[in-house]
Structure 1
Amino acid sequence: MEWLLLIGGAFLAGLIDAVVGGGGLIQLPLLLAVFPSVSIPVLFGTNKLSSIAGTASAVVQYSRTVSIPLRIVLHASAAALLGAAMGAAAVSFLSTQVLKPMVLVLLLSVAAYTWFKPNFGTDSVSKGDIRWPRLIACAIGFGLGFYDGFFGPGTGSFLIFAFVRIFGMDMLRASASAKLVNLATNFAALGFFLLHDGVLWKVGLAMACANVMGAQVGARLAVRHGNAFVRQLLLFVVSVLILKLSWDLFSL
Structure 2
Amino acid sequence: MFDLTLEIALLLVAAGFAAGFIDSIAGGGGLITVPALLLAGVPPAQALATNKVQGMFGAATAAFSYAARGLVDLRSQWRAALVAAAGGVLGAALVNQLPAQALQLVLPVLLIGIAAFFAFRPGLNDLDRARRIGPGLFTLTIVPLIGFYDGLLGPGAGSFYMIAFVSLSGYGVLKATAHTKLLNLFSNLGGLLTFALIGEPLWLLGLLMGLAQITGAGLGARLAARIGARLIKPLLVVTSMALALRLIWQML
2:113 aligned with 1:113, yes or no? Answer: no
2:37 aligned with 1:25, yes or no? Answer: no
Q: Who is 1:196 aligned against?
A: 198
The gaps in structure 2 that reach 5 residues or longer are 1-6
Q: Equivalents in 1 of 2:154, 2:54: separation in Å?
A: 16
Q: Equivalent residues in 2 for 1:60-79 (5 A)?
A: 60-68=64-72, 70=74, 73-79=77-83
Q: Equivalents in 2 of 1:85, 1:200: separation in Å?
A: 19
Q: Equivalents in 1 of 2:137, 2:75: separation in Å?
A: 11
Deviation sequence 1:126-183 (CA, Å, 0-9, x none): 43xx554312222111010111112223110111111011111111111110111011
Decide whether the 8 Å contact of 2:19 with 2:213 is kept in 1: yes
Deviation sequence 1:197-218 (CA, Å, 0-9, x none): 3222221111111110111001
2:237 aligned partner, one-letter code: L
Q: Equivalents in 1 of 2:37, 2:245: separation in Å?
A: 20
Decide whether the 8 Å contact of 1:73 with 1:137 is kept in 2: no
Identity of aligned residues (%): 38
1:18 aligned partner, one-letter code: S
Aligned-residue CA RMSD (Å) = 1.8
CA displacement at 1:110 relative to structure 2: 1.6
2:240 to 235, 238, 241: 238
Q: Equivalents in 2 of 1:198, 1:101: separation in Å?
A: 27
Q: Equivalents in 2 of 1:79, 1:30: separation in Å?
A: 30
Pick which of 63-72 and 43-52 moved more. Answer: 63-72
CA displacement at 1:184 relative to structure 2: 0.8
2:15 aligned with 1:9, yes or no? Answer: yes
Decide whether the 8 Å contact of 1:66 with 1:176 is kept in 2: no
2:98 aligned with 1:94, yes or no? Answer: yes
